[in-house]
Amino acid sequence: MPGIDTSRPFIPLNIAVMTVSDTRTPETDSSGNVLAERIEKAGHKLAARTIVSDDVQMIRNQLQAWIADDRIDIVISTGGTGLTGRDVTPEAFKSVYEKEIDGFSAIFHRVSFEKIGTSTIQSRATAGVAHGTYLFALPGSPNACKDGWDEILQHQLDNRYRPCNFVEILPRLQERQG
């Protein structure tokens, strides 16, 4: 049965939050606030936080800066995963991935389907790995951020979660075939 192994010590991670939006401000960034609160409540460190316009190059530039920063383990974004012409977050994320985590999208849609039914089909939530950094792109609604964190990320970003989790393999993400 999956769950937390309390005999293991918790390992806090450094997590950056990026809100992708042309309209949100620090005062109106409710989805970013949801993620920041949950990250800190879980015992992780909010390493950085920013709002970036819906622009592939701007999103990619921010991702690349955080990927290059050894102090950041995880990047979680909110916004820009829909189907409109301005929704370009998945394209920006996929342009920097070394490996895509296909299961993240599948599980996110399963969780989302239970809450909003077939409307989940309009989301292009995605995840991947680049240079030893995990990258997660969630939709822009506060509820989608709650679902992504509460149902998936809080478990996979906790090294005590069994039978396995993303934290255990974090040190091995940059291994190369010899």
Percent of residues, the chain, with pLDDT higher than 90: 96
User: Predicted confidence band at 165 (pLDDT cuts at 50, 70, 90)?
Assistant: very high
The pLDDT of residue 177: 74
Q: What pLDDT, on the 0 to 100 scale, is given for residue 1?
A: 79
Average pLDDT over residues 97-104: 97
Over residues 21-33, the pLDDT tens digits come to 999 999 999 999 9
**Among positive and negative, which fits the CA dihedral 26, 29, 30, 33?**
negative
pTM above 0.85, yes or no: yes
Q: Give the chain's mean pLDDT.
A: 96
Instruction: Determine the Cα–Cα distance for residues 14 and 132; give it in Å rounded to an integer.
Output: 13
Of all residues in the chain, the percent with pLDDT exceeding 70 is 99
Q: At residue 73, does pLDDT exceed 90?
A: yes
25, 51 in Cβ contact below 8 A? yes
Q: Answer yes or no: are the C-beta atoms of 136 and 77 closer than 8 Å.
A: yes
- Give the pLDDT of residue 176: 83
In order of their start, the domains of the chain are 12-171 (3.40.980.10)
Q: Would residue 5 be called left, alpha or beta, if left means φ above 0 and alpha means ψ between -120 and 50 degrees?
A: beta
The string of pLDDT tens digits covering residues 115-143 is 999 999 999 999 999 999 999 999 999 99
Pull the structure tokens for residue 85.
């012409």
* Average pLDDT of the segment spanning 161-174: 95
Q: Is the pLDDT of residue 150 over 90?
A: yes
